Amino acid sequence: MIHLGLHFVVPLVVALVFFRTSWRNATFILIATMIVDVDHLLANPIYDPNRCSIGFHPLHTLPAILVYVALFVGPLYVRMKNKDRSWHPKARLVHLIGLGLLIHMALDGLDCMV
């Protein structure tokens, strides 16, 4: 239950700290990335509180996580190349999706340590 709560609280805090002017929109996008848990539907049982998701579910494996890193970093690179350092709205969206997925993987990874 604490784990599920962190999937809402951490994105909210990250949005408030790093996306202050649009924290509501950022929080929504970050939390929406929880859809990545759709891969749990392929597992039997679908939910097992003692299972480590990282490396088990397809969208929680290293190749997928590398894609999430690219989603996070790529738009940052594009932004750096902009003279005024402004976000292109679509680049910002992709960046937030990558960030949300990485936060998700980190929180799921915490479960694997205990």
Provide the minimum distance between the beta carbon of 88 and Zn ion in the complex, in angstroms, as a whole number: 29
Q: Provide the mask over 57-96, with x wherever binding to Zn ion is found by CB under 5 A and - wherever it is not.
A: ----------------------------------------
27 lies in the binding site for Zn ion (CB under 5 A): no
Q: 33 or 92: whose CB is closer to Zn ion?
A: 33
DSSP conformation letters of the chain: -HHHHHHHHHHHHHHHHH-GGGHHHHHHHHHHGGGGGGGGGGSSSS--TTS--TTTSGGGSHHHHHHHHHHHHHHHHHHHHSTT-PPPHHHHHHHHHHHHHHHHHHHHHHHHH-
Q: Which of 10, 12, 23, 37 binds Zn ion (CB under 5 A)?
A: 37
- C-beta separation of 93 from 87 below 8 A: no
Report d(CA 52, CA 35) in Å as an integer.
18
111 lies in the binding site for Zn ion (CB under 5 A): no
Stretch that binds Zn ion, among 22-30, 78-86, 95-103, 106-114 (CB under 5 A): 106-114
Stretch that binds Zn ion, among 4-12, 51-59, 62-70, 94-102 (CB under 5 A): 51-59
For Zn ion, the binding residues (CB under 5 A) are 37, 53, 108
